[in-house]
Amino acid sequence: MYVVTVTFVTVPEHRDAFAEAMNTQAENSLEREPACLRFDICRNPDDPDTTFLYEIYEDEAAFQVHLASDHFKEFDALVADWVESKTVNTWDLVYPED
């Protein structure tokens, strides 16, 4: 399985709008993409402008489908001005095994 982690730092005045858009994005990914197996949204309790995502896809190809989806492109354009920084990392899930 293919794991994607993303850390967003948002502009403080857009924190709530970003959170709402992110929740919708997670719902869309899980409902519309059968190969999106998990989409967790975490907020740093000491820094509410920092959001961490943990996503699991069947494989890298499924993540590429996610990036090409209309709902992702719409989300990405919507939040572009609300984000100060974004860090994406990818991982191979080794435990538990597939």
In a domain, 26, yes or no: yes
Alpha helix ranges (H) inside 1-98:
15-32, 60-68, 70-79
- Among residues 84, 83, 90, the alpha carbon closest in space to that of 21 is found at 83
pLDDT tens sequence for the chain (98 residues): 999 999 999 999 999 999 999 999 999 999 999 999 999 999 999 999 999 999 999 999 999 999 999 999 999 999 999 999 999 999 999 998 76
Q: What range does the domain containing 30 cover? A: 2-92
Residues contacting 41, CB < 8 A, separation 6+: 22, 23, 26, 51, 52, 53
Looking at this protein, which amino acid is placed at residue 30?
Answer: L
| CATH number, domain containing residue 31 | 3.30.70.100
Rounded distance between C-alpha atoms, residue 18 and residue 10, angstroms:
8
In a domain, 98, yes or no: no
